Amino acid sequence: MPTCRFGKHPPKHDYRTLRFQRYLAQGVSPLPSCDVLGRVYSNLKVSDPTVLFPIDGNDTYGDCTIAALAHAVTTFNGMIDKEVVPTRQSVVKLYLHLTGGLDSGLNELDVLNYWRKHPFSSEKVLAYVSIDPKHHEHVQLAIAMFGGVYLGFHVQRDCLKDFEARRPWTPGPLTHDGHAVLAVAYDQEGLTVLTWGNTQKATWAWWDECVDEAYALLPTAAKDSDFAKGFSFKQLEADLADVAA
């Protein structure tokens, strides 16, 4: 088992950050479960997470905020039958670029603001919107609509032990560490996230105890009116223009 590192800073708040719930159509609700990861595996004929979602240097550096972006790139492309796996070198290079060469960890909001303006592994998000972690239905809708949720959490004491033992994350005493992952599936028991070159289950009770920020990432395919029914991309574009003005 490789060494696993953390590296997410506490949430950074910006009044200009757009909110997911503003763009949902009235009455839209999630299905009881959704498995985006299974769809990616089926499309790409690959079911080994170490191949599609490698550790990306997160055994050496606290670059989890960038590794989670790499996993989003692979997921976005896997949903449309394309296999794109960013290299470890590209992940570490972007991490050190944003930290100024220090292994200091990063803030998720700063990472997303950078990605919205600069391509990473030839991919760029059209936008991102924050999700209130207390609204499980919104988290579920974002996974189903956009393929995943980019999230950050307080690390509980047994986080690494549970990961190594392949046990779901559950609530526990919190440490001072923060970690970033991508959630790619959910059911009524909890979620599946990608981290450290593997998948990890987590309960909704863990989510409520530990998660302190969550974002829906809109890939370029979201411009298609059929991509995410029930989500107003036109309104989002108008609001983005107002924020940028």
Q: Tens digits of per-residue pLDDT, 44-88? A: 999 999 999 999 999 999 999 999 999 999 999 999 999 999 999
Q: Other C-beta atoms within 10 Å of 215: how many? A: 24
Of 18, 150, 24, nearest in space to 75 by CA: 150
pLDDT at 133: 96
Least-confidence region, from 48-52, 155-159, 231-235: 231-235
CB 30 within 8 A of CB 140: yes
Provide the pLDDT confidence category of residue 2 given band limits of 50, 70 and 90: low
Summarised one tens digit per residue, pLDDT across range 124-148 is 888 999 999 999 999 999 999 999 9
Q: Other C-beta atoms within 10 Å of 86: how many? A: 22
pLDDT at 199: 98
Task: Look over the chain and give the mean of its residue pLDDT values, rounded to a whole number.
Answer: 94
Of 102, 104, 100, nearest in space to 114 by CA: 100
pLDDT at 202: 98
Question: Can you give the pTM of this predicted structure?
Answer: 0.96
Locate the domains of the chain by residue range.
Answer: 33-221
Q: Are strands 127-130 and 211-218 parallel, antiparallel or unpaired?
A: antiparallel
Higher-pLDDT residue of 67 and 27 is 67
Summarised one tens digit per residue, pLDDT across range 175-216 is 999 999 999 999 999 999 999 999 999 999 999 999 999 999
Provide the pLDDT confidence category of residue 229 given band limits of 50, 70 and 90: confident
pLDDT at 124: 85
- Please tell me the distance from the alpha carbon of residue 210 to that of residue 11, in angstroms, as a whole number: 13
- Please tell me the distance from the alpha carbon of residue 202 to that of residue 172, in angstroms, as a whole number: 12
- Chain centre to alpha carbon of residue 75: 10
Q: Which helix (H) or strand (E) holds 194?
A: strand 190-195
CB 129 within 8 A of CB 94: no
- Please tell me the distance from the alpha carbon of residue 16 to that of residue 245, in angstroms, as a whole number: 11
The DSSP call for residue 103 is -
Which residues have C-beta within 8 Å of that of residue 77, sequence separation ≥ 6? Answer: 83, 84, 123
Provide the pLDDT confidence category of residue 245 given band limits of 50, 70 and 90: low
- Domain range 33-221, CATH class: alpha beta
State yes or no: pLDDT of 244 exceeds 80: no
Q: How many helices (H) and strands (E) does the chain have?
A: 9, 7
pLDDT at 193: 98
Which residues have C-beta within 8 Å of that of residue 97, sequence separation ≥ 6? Answer: none
Which residues have C-beta within 8 Å of that of residue 10, sequence separation ≥ 6? Answer: 107, 178, 212
